[in-house]
Chain A
Amino acid sequence: MSQNEHDAFIVSRDDLILVTGANGFIGSRLVKSLLDRGYRNLRCFSRSSNAVARFELVAQGYPGARLEVVQGNLLSRDDCRIIAKDAAVVFHLAAGRGEKLIPDAFVNSVVTTRNLLEACLQHKCVMRFVNVSSFAVYTNAQKRQWRMLDESCPVEAYPELRGDAYCFAKVKQDEIVIEYGKKFGIPNVIVRPGYVYGPGNQGITGRVGIGTFGVFLHLGGSNPIPLTYVDNCAEAIVLAGLKKGVDGEVFNIVDDDLPSSRQFLRLYKRNVKHFKSIYLPKFVSYGLCYLWERYSSWSERQLPPAFNRRVWHAFWKKTRYSNEKLKVRVGWSPQVPTEEGIKRYFEACRRGGRSA
């Protein structure tokens, strides 16, 4: 990386960069991306004890780089104080994923983020706090079909009604980052990746369809799927975290040339594994979501409100996606074309023997 490029960044190569969730799907790529850019002073935080061995191996490829691996829990304020010390940039990727219940997702996303923000506030050395959010926070309800979803779109105002613990936690996590930015002046950037795919995350996104009822229901139809290949996503987060003049901004991360849900499913069946799927037209999926929502409410949640109109708008409504802001403001462009990314993803799926 050239000196000119570095001049456009808020920190020098020797400044300490903290990455939480460093051992995760995106985090491990992000660490590598920082090292590739010449950053030599990284602190990798992970809850997993496997992280130490993994990063020792990574460090061998970057002689001269100082890779400090810390294992701990962000629910511990002491751990947060230790890792935030001297950190100039914080890439906060650690979050509760896969939790079905709101309190679990909340404690692992919001309380942890608050602890980290408090620690940053105490040390007074952070120049940017990069919060990794998600597309899940957007409501998309008030927009017409085929309209563009970009950073100006409203966030879910009543995330508790989405029936999705992850959405609730991410909305609240964003809120607390913005609150600390406004109240205490912690400079921040929020990045919102679409569906991050690649080797290591082989599932089919729910935006294509769901296999909950024993048969795969294809719900996406002709919708573009907001995919971002994991390496592209990591690169975008790095740039958003380091570029000068973007404090307080939000960036959506999606790749170019997005396939439609139908194309993606067809390719998946051809390249990974064939399985039966039933396509539900939009009016049918909307109607079913509406009925489920009504029944859930009428029966006092005898069935959880997992399917409702808010979910339908966020996941299955025809929508286009923009990465214009990311390209213009931080100079990102996807290094792995979607065609190549999907090829690698399918290859990994075949090796992993995963299916829908």
Chain B
Amino acid sequence: MLKVAIVGCGRIADAHASQIQRIRGCEIVGVCDSELLMARQLYERFPVKRYFGELTKLLSEARPDVVHITTPGQSHFEIANTCLQSGCHVYVEKPFSLHEDEALKLIALANERGLKLTAGHDDQFRHAARRMRALIQSGFLGGRPVHMESYFCYELGLGGYAGAILSDKQHWVRRLPGQLLQNIISHGIARIAEHLTTESPQVIAHGFVSPLLKSMGESEIIDELRVIISEEESTTAYFTFSSQMRPSLHQFRIYGPKNGLIIDQDQETLIKLRGSKLTNYLEQFVTPATVGRQYFANTLKNVKTFLARDFHPKAGMKYLIETFYRSIVEDTPVPIPYREILLTAKIMDTIFAQLDQQRSLVQAHGQMPLHPSFSGLRHT
């Protein structure tokens, strides 16, 4: 029986506890939060053996094999480091770390100690995402990806999570180097990172505060982001984060030299885009019909998965946790390769550095400049 602990008992810890209790061969031996009341409420609602207010006590008394870290991003490195030092495997919620160097240190420590790590990029393990991965591995794209587009949008309501961030200038999300973006965009960036091969792709980022947030007196939180990522004369990608565009997409598009694929996370659909075209009118009559047939097939698949009781909103998290545990027990490769975690961290670091630079320019010149590369494009 794998002994599991959760550190940090806020909203995402609920999702972890819910999914862990669906997995056979493990038990939650302890939960921990510096706010003991939070630890107790999680303990009271789930089959958890004990609750703690201190990490060291959790590690020494509950002696978990695996620790899930679900605290605010600022504390991920310290907690993960302590857990690894204590001989625990670690699942770190996104963002994995504040900076790439922290991720590097954690991975080095895990390797040194023969322990395993994973990041909370669970969206990449939802049903449609797994089907997409299998198709790509089977060679459906016809070679290396030529181009990718990743949309990861977030509707900023005035209540709940967003309301709390907007109304509280001291909110922990504001204190992250990349603020709101850092807490959200990992999912969308990791999707791109999975298919990149070089270690240092070129990144061009442009971000700004949406007119809506500005009208609410917000000047710090960047909620609109556009990024171009490119590997030397090879794969390119666009990443879009928006709080304002509708529909609020969670989509990933990937195009190879032969065919393309689109996954829509909200609809849980995977659509194959045929590379070859039919002649004349056939393309306009037959292709829409075949795409329609694909949507219908996706609907059936979703219904079938629902009837099989595996269509939970966090089905991807369950799969990721299960696969991570299996990699520990059977000593097989981790579900998310470390280079993908590092590349995601590196791309995010670069994005936030560029946004910081833009902020400084705004402060110096009073207006938001476009990135030089964007400016260049505008004049051609």
Q: Do A and B make up one complex?
A: yes
> Which of B45, B160, B167, B168 interacts with A100 by CB under 8 Å?
B160
C-alpha gap A100/B11 in the complex (Å): 10
**Residue of B11, B159, B161 contacting most chain A CB atoms (<10 Å):** B11
Whole-angstrom CA separation of A160 from B48 in the bound complex = 14
B346 to A: closest C-beta gap in Å: 32
Asked if A103 and B10 sit within 8 Å, CB to CB, the answer is yes
In the bound complex, residues from chain B placing their C-beta under 8 Å from that of A47 are 167-168
Chain B contacts with A in 12-32, Cβ cutoff 8 A: 13-14, 18, 22
Evaluate whether A301 and B13 lie within 8 angstroms (CB atoms) in the complex, with A98-B160, A99-B160 already known.
no
- The yes or no answer to A192 lying at the interface (CB within 8 A) is no
Residues of B close to A102: CB separation below 8 A: 14, 41, 45
Complex Cα–Cα for A337 and B11 (A): 42
Contact between chains at A107 and B160 (CB < 8 Å): no
The answer for the CA separation of A355 and B35 in the assembled complex, in Å, is 41
CB <8 Å contact, A302 and B306: yes
Q: Which 3 A-B pairs have the closest CB atoms?
A: A160-B45, A299-B309, A103-B11
Interface string of B143-185 (1 = CB under 8 A from A): 0000000000000000111000001101000000000000000
- 15 sampled A-B residue pairs with Cβ under 8 A: A47-B167, A49-B167, A73-B170, A100-B160, A101-B11, A101-B14, A102-B41, A103-B38, A104-B10, A104-B160, A111-B35, A160-B45, A172-B41, A302-B311, A302-B312
* A104 cross-chain contacts in B, Cβ below 8 A: 10-11, 160-161
Of chain B, the residue at the smallest CB distance from A76 is B170
A264 partner residues in chain B, CB cutoff 8 A:
none
Q: How far apart sit A111 and B53, CA to CA, in the bound complex (Å)?
A: 14
Contacts A104-B160, A298-B309, A300-B312 hold; do A111 and B37 have CB atoms under 8 A apart?
Answer: yes
Give the complex CA separation of A299 and B38 in angstroms: 27
- Judged by a CB distance under 8 angstroms, whether B9 is at the interface is yes
Q: In the complex, A107 Cα to B34 Cα: how many Å?
A: 13
Contact residues in B for A98 (Cβ distance below 8 Å): 159-160
User: Is residue A243 within 8 Å, beta carbon to beta carbon, of the partner chain?
Assistant: no
B14/A301 in contact, CB under 8 A: no
| A262 contacts B by Cβ under 8 Å | no
A126–B337 Cα distance when bound, in Å, is: 57
- Determine the distance from Cα of A298 to Cα of B18 in the docked complex, in whole angstroms: 14
Contact of B38 among A100, A107, A301, A302 (CB under 8 A): A107
Give bound CA distance, A48 to B14, whole Å: 28
Does B44 reach chain A (CB closer than 8 Å)?
Answer: yes
Partner of A160, one of B18, B22, B44: B44
Q: Is A103 a contact of B160 with CB atoms below 8 Å? A: no
B168 touches A301 (CB 8 A): no
> How long is the Cα–Cα vector from A45 to B9 in the complex, in angstroms?
27
When distances are taken between beta carbons in the complex, the residues of chain A under 8 Å from B45 are 102, 160
Contact (Cβ within 8 A) B167 A301: no
Q: Which of chain B's residues has its CB closest to A104's CB?
A: B11
Contact: B41 with A300, CB < 8 Å? no
Cβ-defined contact, A110 with B167, below 8 A: no
Q: Per-residue CB proximity of A151-188 to B under 8 Å, as 1/0? A: 00000000010000000100010000000000000000
- Docked Cα-Cα span, A94 to B186, in Å, equals 34
Contact with B along A100-144 (1 / 0, CB 8 A): 111110110011001000000000000000000000000000000
Residues of chain A within 8 A (CB-CB) of B161 are 104
Instruction: Please name 10 further chain A to chain B contacts, defined as beta carbons within 8 Å, in addition to the given A102-B14, A103-B13, A172-B41, sorted by A numbering.
Output: A47-B167, A102-B41, A103-B11, A103-B42, A104-B10, A106-B38, A107-B35, A110-B41, A301-B18, A301-B312
Chain A contributes a number of interface residues (CB within 8 A of B) equal to 25
Q: How far apart are B264's CB and chain A's nearest CB, in angstroms?
A: 20
A interface residues (Cβ-Cβ under 8 A, vs B): 47-49, 73, 76, 98-104, 106-107, 110-111, 114, 160, 168, 172, 298-302
State how many residues of chain B have any CB contact under 8 Å with chain A.
25
Q: Report the nearest B residue to A114, measured CB to CB.
A: B37
B311, A106: Cβ atoms closer than 8 Å: no
Chain A residue with Cβ nearest B161: A104
Residues of B within 8 A of A114 (CB): 37
B18: chain A residues at CB < 8 Å are 301
Q: How many Å from the CB of A83 to the closest CB on chain B?
A: 16
Residues of B within 8 A of A76 (CB): 170
A54 to B45, CA, bound (A): 40
Shortest Cβ gap from A202 to chain B (Å): 16
B168 partner residues in chain A, CB cutoff 8 A: 47, 73
Q: Which residues of B contact A110 (CB under 8 A)?
A: 37, 41
* Contact among A100, A101, A103, A302 for B309, CB-based, below 8 A: A302
- How many Å lie between the Cα of A122 and that of B14 in the bound state? 33
CA distance A178 to B37 in the complex (A): 15
Q: Which residue of B lies closest to A106 (CB)?
A: B41
A-facing residues in B316-359 (Cβ within 8 Å) = none
Contacts of B42 in A (CB 8 A): 103
Q: Cβ of B22 and Cβ of A103 under 8 Å apart? A: no
Question: Closest CB-CB distance, A304 to chain B, in whole Å?
Answer: 9
Q: How far is the CA of A101 from the CA of B15 in the complex (A)?
A: 10
How distant is the Cα of A129 from the Cα of B182 in the complex, in angstroms?
A: 40
Please, which residue of chain B has its CB at the minimum distance from the CB of A300?
Answer: B22
In the complex the two chains form, is A103's CB within 8 Å of B312's CB? no
Residues of chain B contacted by A101 (CB below 8 angstroms)? 11, 14
Complex CA distance for A168 and B42, rounded to whole angstroms: 12
CB contacts (< 8 Å) of A111 on chain B: these are 35, 37-38
Beta-carbon nearest neighbor of B14 in chain A: A103
Instruction: Compute how far the CA of A33 lies from the CA of B33 in the bound complex, rounded to whole angstroms.
Output: 40
Complex: A302 Cα to B310 Cα, angstroms: 7
Q: Give chain A nearest CB distance to B218 CB in angstroms.
A: 12
A-chain residues with CB within 8 Å of residue B309 when the two chains form the complex: 298-300, 302
Output the nearest chain A residue to B310 by Cβ-Cβ distance.
A302
- A301 to B317 alpha-carbon distance, docked (Å): 14
Q: How far is the CA of A347 from the CA of B68 in the complex (A)?
A: 52
- Who on chain A is nearest to B168 by CB? A73
Residue of B nearest to A73 (CB): B168
